Amino acid sequence: MAQASVNGIELCYETFGSESDPPVLLVCGLGMQLVGWSAEWFDALVGEGLYVVAFDNRDVGLSTHLSAAGVPDLSALLTGGNPGVTYSFSDMAADAVGLLDHLGIEAAHVVGISMGGMIAQQLVIDHPDRVLSLCSIMSTTGDPTVGQPTETALGSLLGAAPRNRQEAEDLAVKMWGVFGSPGFPFDEERERRLAGEAFDRAQDPTGFARQAAAIVTAVDRTQGLGAVSVPTVVVHGLADTLVQPSGGRATADAVPGARLVMIEGMGHSLPLGVWPQVIGAITDNISSASGGAPAVRA
């Protein structure tokens, strides 16, 4: 996979489809590698006539891991101490902009999932001229009164990291039971395959902790989202226990004219059965942005 030198780090990325088609930048969630979207997801978006750009955020996958920063002390946040947070969502949004620069893409349709939705929101706030449309999936605004996980869902993230491929696969199955999508069939074989591939590719619990620290210390984006003028769609599952549905509703409420798509039976996951609704929401939103104009290149 390709590497881009951006914002003082290296980002691993991959592109799919024709450069002449409208560009879509996919922003991954907490601890998620670009392969977590799956080859089938990329194919589905390319089949809709889109040029897809996916990348590993800093501290995950084959992008730069800021290991020298150590492990943040999240408990210090509760006592007013210094948690040792080394970067913010603005930094991660700047990474994404650097990747667009590297690829010669002046502006892109941005799709973020979970933490990636938070980064995508910060991206359109900080760099509004680089975003053609925004899709925020299973995410929230940073307002601490909305989108909070249930105690069970939060506890599931605090366990020991997997030490081998088998444990990574078992953990993926366990996570589905905690915050998956109960209204859709669970394809255990597929989820095990994706989890195993990600483990084999890269595994860094300290990077996960640093990304989590960026979430915990993020500012409330509600006011900034009030200035967003690009077409926006917010997709959220009504069964989401990791980022509860109030986070999606608050996001849609914050962005003028945003469309809210709440999906019955969808949790904090993208099972195959929900793809028609989610991809439909993405493509409809893109079409509303200047008629789905072709890629704008520097």
In a domain, 175, yes or no: no
Band of residue 293 on the pLDDT scale cut at 50, 70, 90: very low
Give the C-alpha separation, 187 to 210, whole Å.
30
In a domain, 270, yes or no: yes
83-108 pLDDT per residue, tens: 667 899 999 999 999 999 999 999 99
In a domain, 184, yes or no: no
The phi-psi region of residue 35 (left if phi > 0; otherwise alpha if psi is between -120 and 50; otherwise beta) is alpha
Helices 165-179 and 188-201 meet at what angle, rounded to 10?
130
Say if CB 81 and CB 178 are below 8 A apart: no
Give the C-alpha separation, 85 to 212, whole Å.
9
Task: Please tell me the predicted confidence (pLDDT) of residue 86.
Answer: 83
Q: What tokens appear for 262 in the block?
A: 């709440």
Cα 62 to chain centroid distance, Å, stands at 16
Give the C-alpha separation, 135 to 238, whole Å.
17
Q: What tokens appear for 258 in the block?
A: 């945003």
In a domain, 139, yes or no: yes
Domain that holds residue 96: 2-150+204-291
Total number of domains in the chain: 1
In a domain, 157, yes or no: no
Higher per-residue confidence, 250 vs 72? 250
Q: What tokens appear for 84 in the block?
A: 């040792």
In a domain, 173, yes or no: no
Task: Please tell me the predicted confidence (pLDDT) of residue 70.
Answer: 86
In a domain, 228, yes or no: yes
Say if CB 269 and CB 180 are below 8 A apart: yes
Helix, strand, or coil here: 207? Answer: helix
Mean pLDDT value of segment 187-201: 96
Burial of residue 197, with CB atoms counted within 10 A of its CB: 0-12 exposed, 13-18 middle, 19 or more buried: middle
The CATH number assigned to the domain holding 101 equals: 3.40.50.1820
In a domain, 183, yes or no: no
- Residue 203 sits at φ, ψ, to 5 deg, of -150, 120
Single pTM value for the model: 0.94
Checking if the pLDDT of 38 tops 60, the result is yes
